[in-house]
Chain A
Amino acid sequence: MIHDLIVLNIMSLIQVKNRLKEQLKKHPLIFLVIVGLAGMFYYGYMRLSDVLTEFIFQQDVFGVILITKLVQIMLIISIGIVTMSALTTAIANFYMSQDLEFQFCLPVNFDSWILHRYGQVYLQSCWMVLAFGSPFIWDFMRLSEVPLGASLLAILSFAVVCSAPVFASTVLCMFLVRLFPARRIHQVLLVFTLVLMSGLVFLFRYMEPEQFIGPGGIDRFRGYVDLVSPGRNSWNPAIWAADFITALSQKEWRQSLPNAYRLIGMTVAIHGILIMVARRFYKPSWDRALQALSGEVHGKTTIHNESWISRRLASRRWHQVGRELLLLVRDPSQWSQIFVLLSLLALYLFSITKLPLAPFGGTRYQLALGNTAFVGFVAMSIASRFVFTSFSVEGPAIWLMKTAPENWTSWIWAKVIVFGMPTIAFSLALSVGSGYLLELPPQELWWLAQASLWDACVIVALALAFGLVFMNPYIENPLKLMVSPGGFLLMATGLFILALHVMLRLTHESELLNFLMSRIGWPDVQGIKAYYWGASLILIECLATAWMLRTGLAQQRRGEIL
């Protein structure tokens, strides 16, 4: 059993190693830059956690109490987040993975296989929570001046707590797949998870975290923590871990033992029960899932009524748009993320009304112009998720397009209409909406709309061009494409251009800024000159986008993609 578990894990590690090696070989510079940036970001996060933990820890009387309560809250929130993430990950790993049939043909011990898969679900759903939660516990232990071993044990207890929701989600999935089709459960859970995530974002925003900054902030924070502190349920593993960590931080080794035993007992029980449940329930539910995967047509997916979109497929002019819409509407992994976008829109508009003008010192119009940078960043993220990936999500079925007597421009226009236009509209809504909330007069709103339209159009054009050039029809998850070298380059280029746009507007609007910027070589853009510079920028952007689209289309023709 142990041997099989080691072999299966080595197999997974080799795949990860090969994937990294391939990336390093294909785009060494971009790969190293991405790794470097990720490292810098994580270092920055650790420093921030360090400073905040130290600040709270040093508060007289209640500092340590506050931190122990925060540890409890963090552990409970982690359980919630991991549960949501593990539900979809467990279904994907246990029932929808491409290599399942191959692995079942191997003479591998069933229990080892289940534990190996469970390990994969654990890693995929917990790594982010562990990466961002551990620095806080580490800092707490460091400030408590405990030995290194105690710090490591504290982090280990955090990792152990996270295994409980992964176990619960995995078992729940095994039961659910016995009752419902795996693919349908995956889609429903995906939508459910995104709705919950949107809710969490809302909850965080309406907590108004800005109230904790400034004089008296720490008192308000303490009151808030008291309010949301969980009850002391003796069956909650998060409480066991929190008490274990607290005892370690106070160097009360004996007192930490009961909770350590509880955590160890829970880990052993989880693995034992998982194996028993899997032996009883996994195989029958897998048989069901396999039937569905290998094409069991049973009438449940029959589409009897022709929808408006479906009828567009027969239209000479709108057939490509119809196809894009149909594929988007029927794929919850695509449209469900719109929930998150809408909640972001609401939060953004809510936040803009809370912005203090005093520290900024400029006019409301200048603030609105500066705000276009944030709007542009949001539009960039949306374009990178939907417009940039729109070519790749065609998948290997792209051969249908390549062997059809169709003009490629209609294909690209369909992407512009279905993915590009909503991005532009979203961007305009954000920008004009925030301008309206800042009580700008109509003329300034009109200029703001034009500025935002320019940004959004350039962003969409860039995302289209990069999407075509870096098209990868074999990618399983569009989100992976966003963090690929192509996605990274798009983000970097887009943000650079956006920065140019915003600086051009602000230096045109503010004489002081124009003067300051001119000292570092920025051209004078006061008066009419701004329009010349703007026109030149637009010309360069148009030429660059056209060149990239041509390159992408030439790649398509030469067949470098498929």
Chain B
Amino acid sequence: MIKARNLAKKFQTFRAVDGVDFDVPEGVVYAFLGPNGAGKTTTIRMLTGILEPDQGELEIGGYTYKKNRNDILNMIGYIPDRPFLYGKMTAIELLRFLGSLRRLDANYVKTRSYDLLEKFRLTDFANEIVERYSHGMRQKLVMASALLHKPKLLIVDEPMVGLDPRAALQIKQLITDFAEAGHSVFMSTHTLEVAAQLCHRVGIIHKGKLVADETLNSLTERMKTDDGDLEAVFMALTVDGHEPEAIPI
């Protein structure tokens, strides 16, 4: 579904992403891990078309942004880490507007919107302006908007932030079901348990470079850690050769 080759992005002199290669096949949940400032969000923004790569090739579903931007964007559902939305719109108005942006049928948008709001337990607040929503409610609304057009690829940046346990469980189930239906998920997260639990493949980015890209089993085997101990692998690959220092109390 995603094919990235030598992908790079520079901000002035700082190389945020430095020649990254990875593949995300169909039906796979791909965890994209890395410490703060490693280049995860920049990579995600390139995948979603928000940023244009300085170099490299990016193919999504066989399309490239240069030739088939709209085809790619119609295929993607994006859930950013911070749910910025139009505060003065109601949830139903926002979904209606996003449906128009994607040229979806108005009746379909109406049915699908209420269906999604019901699933995310937002029906009671469908006619409230988003400005009044809590962080978690906004996050759920972003998820509803990402699923509105039935995407084939879900790109998620920190999916569990601000969600209550019930909603978090719901999202885990959604990701699993999404992959089982033959679609793909590209997920960036700091919650290593979630990555270990849900993902088929793991990519670890550090200082803009991909330092690992394999299945969880092969990764733990290669790093000679206990099976499934993603935290130990993550630490070994991203701490610059020394253990994290204890914080004085």
Contacts and interface: CB of A to CB of B under 8 A. Distances in A.
Contacts of B138: 295
Nearest to B138: A295
B183 to A, nearest CB: 17
A316 B97 CA distance: 9
A311 to B, nearest CB: 9
Nearest to B133: A295
B86 A405 contact: no
A310 B93 contact: yes
B188 to A, nearest CB: 15
Contacts of B145: 400
A280 interface: no
A183 to B, nearest CB: 8
Interface string A301-337: 1111000001001111001001100110011000000
Contacts of A397: 84-87
The SS class assigned to the A binding surface is loop
Given A405-B73, A405-B102, A302 B128 contact: yes
Interface string B106-144: 100100000000000000010111011111011000000
A401 B102 CA distance: 11
Nearest to B99: A314
B134 A404 contact: no
B100 A294 contact: no
Contacts of A562: 45, 50
A304 B93 CA distance: 12
Interface stretch (B32-40, B74-82, B172-180, B192-200): B74-82
A489 to B, nearest CB: 22
A403 B128 CA distance: 24
Nearest to A562: B50
Nearest to B107: A314
Contacts of B102: 404-405
Contacts of A294: 134
Nearest to B89: A326
B51 A559 contact: yes
Contacts of B100: 313-316, 319
A559 B109 contact: no
B138 to A, nearest CB: 8
A395 interface: yes
A26 B29 CA distance: 42
Nearest to B75: A405
Contacts of A323: 86, 89, 97
A403 B49 contact: yes
A400 B73 contact: no
Most buried by A among B70, B71, B97, B129: B97
A303 B96 CA distance: 15
A395 B71 CA distance: 26
B97 A297 contact: no
B90 interface: yes
A295 B145 CA distance: 19
Interface of A: 292, 294-299, 301-304, 310, 313-316, 319, 322-323, 326-327, 330-331, 395-397, 399-406, 557-559, 562
29 contacts: A295-B134, A295-B137, A299-B128, A301-B131, A302-B128, A313-B93, A314-B96, A314-B99, A314-B109, A316-B100, A323-B86, A326-B88, A330-B88, A396-B82, A400-B86, A400-B98, A400-B145, A401-B101, A402-B49, A403-B48, A404-B101, A405-B71, A405-B101, A405-B102, A406-B101, A557-B52, A558-B51, A558-B52, A562-B50
